[in-house]
Amino acid sequence: MCRHGDSMHLNTLLDNKDFKDKQHKIRRAFAPYSKDIGVDGNELSTVIILLNLTFKKSEISDLTNPDTATELLKNTVLFDKCVNEVQWFHTHNLKYPEIRVSHQRIIAPKLDYYRGVITSESEPTLLGWSHNSAEVNHAKLFSAGFIWQNKPTNLARLLIKKELCWMDCLVKLGLTKKRLKLLCQQLTDSLPNVDFPDEVSQFSNQLMLLIGDTYCAVTPVVSHNLLVKIQQLSVEHKLRTAIVEHSRPTNVGDLATSLGGNVRVMRYLPTVFNSDEFTYKENMLKKSFKQSGCFNHKAIRSRAFTNALQVISGESDAITHKLRRKARVAALRLIREQLSDWLTPLIEWRLDYKENSNNELNQQTLEVEFLKATHSELQSLLNEFSRVLNEQFQYNKYTQRYAFHPDLMAPLKSQLKWLLTWIGKSDKYCEAPQSKIVYLYFSDLRVFDANALANPYIKGIPSLSALGGWSHNFQRKVNNILGTELTVIGTAWFIQNYNLVAGKNLPEPSILTSKRKPSTVKSSGIIDTKKCDMTMGLVLRVYIDNPERLQSALIKAAFPSKFAGGCMHPPSLYENKEWCHIYHDSNELFSKLSRLPRNGCWVYPSDKTADNLEQLADTLKLNPRLKPASLGFVALEPMKYRENAIADLHCYAEPAIGLVNCISPITVRLNGVKSFLNKAFWQLNIEKDAMLMKIAKFE
């Protein structure tokens, strides 16, 4: 919940001697994207400001002028316009981002708490506005938020509750008691506790979800209070954000209007790097590595790694002992992951060396000793690796002060020791005999124009519900072809390459210039939907009564061509002919997966959770491999019949924000096959009103 004690008080702004600056700050304080301002003791001044905000900026110079406020109250036409706009207040904006949705609004009750995801439940309920763009200023009188008696509220709510001091302020400014009584009744009628549309707009998105034995339609809608909170955290630089542009912001709503159409969303891309031109083995054979060595230097020169070194060396800015301890644990975990990335080239080459028995290397270097050493001999190289690591710190301006640091020598050595212990260790997992469990691995899949804007709050990893939808679509197609019951009980996701698509997609022409005679067709307004291209792999754990019926050709025939709103294709034939693999043994599967390129990442369910956006910001700061993602939806209402729905049952739902863990292939390899089977797979979980992607539990 927001901490109201941190909010500014209106007195501070009213005491400002600089007239121009004072007007600017007052206008900004009551803007939808700003933190609510405390107004206790300044109720009359607040009402005056709210009345004056209904005028255009060019029409009024002093927002604290009571005369202009009184004029508005006497002008029944203008005042009635302000009152009429209350019927378009909402908790969730149906016109975001599709402005063609009209004459509909949602006022939803407070959601239940669901562990592991962030919804509007985590923030105080705020009311936004979206309707006719010409009325954007008139809506401010009753929609502008502030804090009174330690609670976020607005003038409409206070008058509905008939708070006497606020009613007296309006009377003092010239509103008659008869009109005041009528006003309170109008506001009560216009702001019910719950309000949903009776039909689905043709311009609203609808998704099909299997809930129980029935397909239901779900329309995702954006929460006003969550979007406001993201804007506030962006101003405080607590979140990494990107801008989503709205070309006609006044049609979208009051929040987009106050931001000039530039609404900020969280921007956290998957931890994927560009592939190297040559493999490390090829580079090793082409030139001498006496100076730089066969290491991934980028891993120990990243900002995240230097921040972790800063924490371990005692330079953390955490205040309490508990926070320092929490930061230290997170820093040690990150250091281990980065050191494993630092050693990745050597580990890859060691595997190749062991498999091919290449005895051509006669140089007496640390790298060659590492390649030839048995598992038990690796520990003897610990001191030498520690020396090389600290020497490499000296070659970078950000890490040179940590070279041979007395507070870092022991922690770094302990992490290197753990890595050397696990490198080369045999990891065979004896899974209980399950003849009807099969693993399907699709490699090098190409996805074009997938939705990088997973939900209205996040730009980065496509929605995890798209993963569940793709798996279910595949399941249906296979069953139609084979005539048998195949069930996907878990899906693992590897992103090998990821690129954001520049520019905006031009909508397909769909609007006739004239409806009465032959005419040209024009496009609707451009919506700034962020797109991405990916190369990825999918592992499906499936249950099937007759595993012998699964053939590669049949599986390829059932391969869905859509993923996250984009087009999915198998790899080109000259790149990879065998892209569909069937495994009955998990160890055989893992031996294939453990050699995936180091530049990609596995998208794991995370055991870390956050209850609100501020906690999320702190968690993301501690661990850069954690990313916010869209994990599904939480229904705002019970399923019901609704006109224009694509299924018999329909509901409006709010996208849920959760955390995923971007795990490097080398970390997956070191953790072993058992860890992969227990932690890497996703499945759709339906619980009460929540439709969320969660970790797949295998019995």
Read off the pLDDT of residues 216-254 as tens digits, 9 standing for 90 and up.
999 999 999 999 999 999 999 999 999 999 988 999 999
Confidence of residue 3 (pLDDT cuts 50, 70, 90): very low
Out of 78-87, 157-166, 417-426, which region has the weakest mean confidence (pLDDT)? 417-426
The more confidently predicted of residues 658 and 428 is 658
**Contact of 601 with 536, CB cutoff 8 Å:** no
Among the listed residues 163, 154, 138, 132, the one whose alpha carbon sits nearest the alpha carbon of residue 52 = 138
Nearest-angstrom CA–CA distance, 267 and 470: 24
Confidence of residue 20 (pLDDT cuts 50, 70, 90): very high
Q: What is the DSSP string of 324-366?
A: HHHHHHHHHHHHHHHHHHHHHHHHHHHHHHHHHT-------SH
- Amino acid at site 512: L
Nearest-angstrom CA–CA distance, 485 and 699: 19
- Position 290 scores a pLDDT of 39
Confidence of residue 292 (pLDDT cuts 50, 70, 90): very low
Nearest-angstrom CA–CA distance, 644 and 398: 59
**Contacts for 139 with CB less than 8 Å, ≥ 6 apart:** 82, 85, 88, 89, 129, 131, 254
- Position 274 scores a pLDDT of 64
- For residues 25-37, average pLDDT: 93
- Position 147 scores a pLDDT of 94
**Contact of 486 with 476, CB cutoff 8 Å:** no
Confidence of residue 343 (pLDDT cuts 50, 70, 90): confident
pLDDT surpassing 70 at residue 526? yes
Nearest-angstrom CA–CA distance, 7 and 152: 11
**Contact of 108 with 637, CB cutoff 8 Å:** yes
Nearest-angstrom CA–CA distance, 211 and 209: 6
- The mean pLDDT of the chain is 87
pLDDT surpassing 60 at residue 188? yes
- pLDDT tens for 436-483 read 899 999 999 999 999 999 899 999 999 999 999 999 999 999 999 888
- pLDDT tens for 648-657 read 999 999 999 9
Nearest-angstrom CA–CA distance, 443 and 576: 9
Nearest-angstrom CA–CA distance, 316 and 621: 13
**Contact of 145 with 22, CB cutoff 8 Å:** no
The more confidently predicted of residues 192 and 354 is 192
- Position 578 scores a pLDDT of 84
The more confidently predicted of residues 157 and 594 is 157
Out of 50-54, 79-83, 596-600, which region has the weakest mean confidence (pLDDT)? 596-600
**Run of H or E residues at 11:** helix 10-14
**Which single residue is written with the structure tokens 């008691």?**
177
Task: Classify each residue of 490-529 as buried b or exposed e, where b means 16 or more C-beta atoms within 10 Å of its C-beta.
Answer: bbbbbbbbbeebeeeeeeeeeeeeeeeeeeeeeeeeebbb
Alpha helix ranges (H) inside 487-584? 552-557
**Contact of 662 with 602, CB cutoff 8 Å:** yes
Nearest-angstrom CA–CA distance, 450 and 455: 12
The more confidently predicted of residues 8 and 448 is 448
- pLDDT tens for 350-404 read 777 776 665 565 566 777 777 777 777 888 888 888 998 998 898 888 888 888 9
Confidence of residue 679 (pLDDT cuts 50, 70, 90): very high
**Contact of 464 with 693, CB cutoff 8 Å:** yes
Tokens of 101: 């949705």
- Position 42 scores a pLDDT of 92
**Contact of 436 with 543, CB cutoff 8 Å:** yes
pLDDT surpassing 60 at residue 560? yes
3-class secondary structure, 124: coil
Confidence of residue 507 (pLDDT cuts 50, 70, 90): low
- Position 325 scores a pLDDT of 85
Q: What percent of the chain has pLDDT over 70?
A: 90
The length of the chain is: 699
Question: Which DSSP state fits 135?
Answer: G
Nearest-angstrom CA–CA distance, 200 and 203: 8
pLDDT surpassing 80 at residue 7? no
- For residues 288-300, average pLDDT: 65
Q: Which residues pair with 687 in a beta bridge?
A: 690
- Position 381 scores a pLDDT of 87
- Position 287 scores a pLDDT of 44
- Position 125 scores a pLDDT of 92
Nearest-angstrom CA–CA distance, 146 and 148: 7
- Position 575 scores a pLDDT of 72
Nearest-angstrom CA–CA distance, 517 and 52: 47
pLDDT surpassing 80 at residue 99? yes
Nearest-angstrom CA–CA distance, 304 and 323: 18
